[in-house]
Amino acid sequence: MKKNATVRWAYLILGTISLMVAGVIYAWSILKAPLAEEFGWSGSELALNFTLTMCFYCLGGFFGGLVSKRLGSRISLLAAAVLSGLGFFLTSRLSGGVVTLYLSYGVTAAFGIGISYNVIISTVSAWFPDQKGLCSGALLMGFGTSALVVGKLASALIEGPGWRTAFLTVGILLAVVLTVTALLLRRPGENEVLPQPPQKRSAGEESFELKDYQTGEMVRRPSFWLAFFCIVCLAAVGNTVFSFARDLALSVGAKAAFASTLVGILSVCNGLGRIAVGLVFDRYGRKRTMLLANGLTILAAGIALTAVLTKSLPLCVAGLCATGFSYGSAPTITSAFTSGFYGTKHFPLNYSVMNFNLMGASFAATAAGSLVESTGGYAAPFILLLCLAGLSLILNLCIRKP
């Protein structure tokens, strides 16, 4: 038996950096601008691409859970490197027809990124049985801040060499980083001794019998569906705002450069929210953490709606920051909730199934895009998002135990 407490922190850093690159799909509000200008695609057509991206990202995560269980994390991540890199390369070669965008970016790149997301999170999380929330939060912080780091790089390339160079560069970066991660990252072996969670339960944590649920057992539990649709509604707010953040800022009077910066700020708040919620989850348990996330999401949608109605840029900034922070709670809760309620033995596949909540949330972005086009403003979309945030709270209050 050997103790290996140092290597897990190295894997956590590696995983966070990898997801920081893979999270570039959340920079869509920056990446879509030159495509709309060059090809004349409408806002609803581009919103549909974001919905497809989220759908195939979730499908990729499910596929990654299946493949990594049979073939291991290395082969799964190598496949992710090839698919995501290829998707961005094909997008850089677009010549017309929005369907080609859907196939290259919305299907191929997103599917590859979904595989990498699931494999990296499930592999690194296996090293942290004692700090599920912190581990999930740190990894997802990397994923969430990608719109600032990689998104800013893409924005600079778009303004310089052009959007084709931007997509090509991001594709190469994705392929290289995920390949390196595939070669270095591994799951803990049977002879690894890792710190275990304390026997004393954290404040606010529910009391129930701990059990490793298989995926089939999990989806037959009422708690699964309550949590699933709760997180769908919770994530719908941030997911939708990410899809049109730049345009929203422009609509209330922001300059183009500042609007792009706000997308980065939204990303930073998203990342900070993920790690903060992870820490809160470890300390105060599921119930208090999810109630906090519900309250913050309702507040964020309310501030953003007020900003739209009053054309207030400062309120828009505040609303975007609050939205980013609240959106950061959704993936962290998804990960920590799944392992806490349904065990760690079948976590990779269980997590990929629970993560389909993003697919449901993505349809809110398409609906919001249609509302923007039909009403000519952002008030109706935020009224919809405010209703979804309230429904999320109601569903959360109904969750009891596995």
Query: Is there a domain that residue 173 lies in?
Result: yes
Q: What is the pLDDT of residues 256-265, one digit of tens each?
A: 878 877 877 8
Does the pLDDT of residue 42 top 90, yes or no? no
What's the number of domains the chain is made of? 1
Query: Is there a domain that residue 205 lies in?
Result: no
- Predicted pLDDT of residue 271: 76
- Predicted pLDDT of residue 2: 45
Give the DSSP per-residue string, 9-49: HHHHHHHHHHHHHHGGGGGHHHHHHHHHHHH---HHHHHHH
- Predicted pLDDT of residue 398: 92
The DSSP secondary-structure symbol of 376 reads S
Query: Is there a domain that residue 17 lies in?
Result: yes
Give the DSSP per-residue string, 122-174: HHHHTT-TT-HHHHHHHHHHHHHTHHHHHHHHHHHHHHTT-HHHHHHHHHHHH
Query: Is there a domain that residue 141 lies in?
Result: yes
- Predicted pLDDT of residue 155: 84
- pLDDT cut 90: percent of the chain above it: 39
Query: Is there a domain that residue 80 lies in?
Result: yes
Query: Is there a domain that residue 197 lies in?
Result: no
Rounded to two decimals, what is the model's pTM? 0.73
Q: What is the pLDDT of residues 357-380, one digit of tens each?
A: 878 887 888 888 888 888 888 999
- Predicted pLDDT of residue 319: 92
Q: What is the pLDDT of residues 136-155, one digit of tens each?
A: 778 878 887 787 788 878 88
Q: What is the pLDDT of residues 208-235, one digit of tens each?
A: 667 889 989 999 999 999 999 999 999 9
Q: How many CB atoms lie within 10 A of CB 41?
A: 18
- Predicted pLDDT of residue 206: 58
What does the block give as tokens for 394?
Answer: 């109601």
**Domain encompassing residue 152:** 2-188+211-397
Q: What is the pLDDT of residues 3-18, one digit of tens each?
A: 556 788 899 999 999 9
Does the pLDDT of residue 168 top 90, yes or no? yes
Q: What is the CATH number of the domain that holds 27?
A: 1.20.1250.20
Query: Is there a domain that residue 174 lies in?
Result: yes
State the burial class of residue 245 (Cβ atoms within 10 Å of its Cβ: 0-12, 13-18, 19+).
buried
- Predicted pLDDT of residue 71: 85
CB 157 within 8 A of CB 70: no
**Mean pLDDT of the residues in the chain:** 86
Q: What is the pLDDT of residues 330-356, one digit of tens each?
A: 888 888 788 888 887 788 788 888 988
What does the block give as tokens for 358?
Answer: 């993003």
Query: Is there a domain that residue 149 lies in?
Result: yes
- Predicted pLDDT of residue 1: 39
